[in-house]
Structure 1
């Protein structure tokens, strides 16, 4: 008999939903609570690189959204004018029948993940979080924010950068840190030549174009924003155009089409990394709650998805809860730390205008590292 048979997952984002799916497929009872009363999705799109495609296939959800996504093989790194500096081939880690990489809108992905979690029998409650966690005996007694209670073999905090569960475990020891950069995103009809992830190295930040569907792509650009200034939402389009002033070629052409401030998704980049085991007793952190990083390597959500798959495997591989969580940490800590540190390093080098920094080499190193078994 498993040491863990009933789990509470706090947070209904990508990590929480994937963990729910992973555990339900292993026969573990799951309750999921999400603070938002309406399950809205932040952002425009998401890049799923080869290692993430592999894990989504393991979860049995990849086929459910490929038709709504854009499959691609390679990644290019280009100058501001669009001259290609490197083309890095993808690896079909999920098998020859699946693409190396996938771009998909966050809304389309959320729909498949949430529907799958519910179809697998998870109990989902919205507008709810945890108030207190009390470990007694072989379980955790949970008081929810609506006054209701529950008892679980394990509680998983998948509640993001500003994790309530992390605060309950570690107090204020781990607080999000602004990196000095922000990212801007905007959707466009897909240009025919954007059939892959195209990165453009800029003078003060990097831009990119990501295909999401046959008729959709999004642009991103990072920028140095000292002091994390407040942005007037009415001026976001003009501000984003200004951040792209050093680019020509396709990026320059698209820049002038950024006119609707309501469609600009602006996000200051904040990071946190829990530099000790991500659990205490029978409460565990996964995803951004434990290791939120920047998007410079496109692996933030990917690490949360890997967390989910590994958790499902370890909770059903025998041993005590302590042994299961120790094995989970042994498989996850160094891998996530490499991604976190490398992503932050890339941003720091952008801020410093360090032209000697080998970004292409770092991307290749990341792809080789993440291609390894999880």
Structure 2
């Protein structure tokens, strides 16, 4: 007998889906309340490090992911004119039998996880979120935004960085901007782009790209944050092209394709870390609802997947749900996530402050060594 018989997961993104799949496969009745009226995935592409790939393999979707993504095992550092400075072997944090890194289209990952959710037997309710929670001690009575109500052994807030569940629990935590903003575009992959290459310097803090399939990639430019509405949609291509003028090599071809504002996404780098515990009674936060970090270490999705894996393991191994289980969850997750968030923010801060002697390789190496160990 598992610790729970029925679970409501609020949010059907990476963390919510990754939790629903193993629970439903084990016979737990799982409902997912997803506020979007149809399947969606923001952003253009996603970079998945080896420890994220390990979690996806554990979920049984690695073959589908590897078939549509673009795997690579090194990182390139270039000068603004496109010249190669260094080619660095990337850490295989998922183990020697998985690539170090894989890029893929974000909607593709969402579709693979959604298929696995359906096959697991979990039920997804689209266009619905939670409006009220009432924890009676033995159950959580839930009122949904469509007026329906139900009772669950466990409610999981996996509803993102601006989590409604977090607010309903009275947890006073909010994302904080780091001072950087990132421009992304989904575009064609030049033939010479076979891994992530980064430029530190030029008109931006970072200029980089990541292949996401045999034909596609996403490219990004990181500058000092500006108001989100400072550049009108119609002017976004011209602004991003102007930033890209300072870069050569593959950027010559990328720049020529920066024409469609619908393929351009601008967001701020933000960070969030909820103090332990992440639960209040029988409701718990996971993923971006509990922690988020700028993408300087490309660990955001990996940490969401790890949260789901650890929580599912604990729930399926226990015969009751109590604070001891949530404390065990925190013991395995909080310090690890805290290290990732703090390191990701530190990398951004060093660049904003123009710290020339920052030990970037040392910091990245310490995080890589940590996440190579299973959570």
Question: Shorter-normalised TM-score: what interval?
Answer: over 0.9
Q: Is the 8 A contact 1:49 1:101 kept in 2?
A: yes
- How far does the alpha carbon of each residue in 1:182-214 deviate from its partner, in whole angstroms, 9 at most, with x for none? 111112222233222222212441121101111
- Aligned pair 1:314/2:314, yes or no? yes
> 1:296-311 residue pairs with structure 2 within 5 A?
296-311=296-311
Helix, strand or coil: the match of 2:367? Answer: helix
The residue number in structure 2 matching 1:356 is: 357
- Aligned pair 1:323/2:324, yes or no? yes
* CA displacement at 1:76 relative to structure 2: 2.5
* CA displacement at 1:305 relative to structure 2: 0.7
Distance 1:202 1:25 in 2: 48
- How far does the alpha carbon of each residue in 1:256-292 deviate from its partner, in whole angstroms, 9 at most, with x for none? 4322222111112222211221111110001110001
For the structure 1 residues 151 and 118, does the alpha-carbon distance in structure 2 shift closer, same or farther, using more than 3 Å as the test? Answer: same
The residue number in structure 2 matching 1:186 is: 185
Deviates more, 1:176-185 or 1:80-89: 80-89
Q: TM-score with structure 2 length normalisation?
A: 0.94
* CA displacement at 1:112 relative to structure 2: 0.8
Alignment: residue pair count: 372
Q: Is the 8 A contact 1:79 1:85 kept in 2?
A: no
Q: TM-score with structure 1 length normalisation?
A: 0.94
* CA displacement at 1:139 relative to structure 2: 1.0
> 1:171-320 residue pairs with structure 2 within 5 A?
171=171, 173-203=172-202, 204-226=204-226, 230-318=230-318, 320=320
* CA displacement at 1:58 relative to structure 2: 0.7
Distance 2:62 2:99 in 1: 11
> 1:8-27 residue pairs with structure 2 within 5 A?
8-27=8-27
Distance 2:277 2:79 in 1: 41
Distance 2:215 2:243 in 1: 25
Distance 1:264 1:209 in 2: 14
* CA displacement at 1:293 relative to structure 2: 1.2
* CA displacement at 1:316 relative to structure 2: 1.5
Q: Is the 8 A contact 2:40 2:110 kept in 1?
A: no
Unmatched segments (≥5 aa) in structure 2: none
Q: Is the 8 A contact 1:234 1:262 kept in 2?
A: no
* CA displacement at 1:126 relative to structure 2: 0.5
Distance 2:93 2:292 in 1: 26
Q: Is the 8 A contact 1:81 1:250 kept in 2?
A: no
Q: Is the 8 A contact 2:44 2:263 kept in 1?
A: no
Distance 2:43 2:192 in 1: 23
Helix, strand or coil: the match of 1:297? Answer: coil
The residue number in structure 2 matching 1:45 is: 45
* CA displacement at 1:46 relative to structure 2: 0.7
Helix, strand or coil: the match of 2:169? Answer: helix
Deviates more, 1:321-330 or 1:210-219: 321-330
Q: After the TM superposition, which parts of structure 1 deviate over 4 Å for at least 4 consecutive aligned residues?
A: 226-229
The residue number in structure 1 matching 2:59 is: 59
Helix, strand or coil: the match of 2:167? Answer: helix
Q: Is the 8 A contact 1:44 1:187 kept in 2?
A: yes
Q: Is the 8 A contact 1:317 1:324 kept in 2?
A: no
Q: RMSD over aligned Cα, in angstroms?
A: 1.8
Unmatched segments (≥5 aa) in structure 1: none
Q: Is the 8 A contact 1:202 1:246 kept in 2?
A: no
Distance 1:77 1:371 in 2: 23
The residue number in structure 2 matching 1:372 is: 373
Q: Is the 8 A contact 1:88 1:364 kept in 2?
A: no
For the structure 1 residues 365 and 86, does the alpha-carbon distance in structure 2 shift closer, same or farther, using more than 3 Å as the test? Answer: farther
Deviates more, 1:153-162 or 1:258-267: 258-267
Helix, strand or coil: the match of 2:191? Answer: coil
Distance 2:79 2:357 in 1: 15
Q: Is the 8 A contact 1:86 1:360 kept in 2?
A: no
Helix, strand or coil: the match of 1:142? Answer: strand
Distance 2:76 2:51 in 1: 18
Q: Is the 8 A contact 2:93 2:368 kept in 1?
A: no
Helix, strand or coil: the match of 2:316? Answer: coil
Q: Is the 8 A contact 1:179 1:271 kept in 2?
A: yes
Deviates more, 1:50-59 or 1:244-253: 244-253
* CA displacement at 1:253 relative to structure 2: 4.7
The residue number in structure 1 matching 2:164 is: 164
Distance 2:194 2:12 in 1: 31
- How far does the alpha carbon of each residue in 1:117-159 deviate from its partner, in whole angstroms, 9 at most, with x for none? 0111001100100111111131111011111111111100000
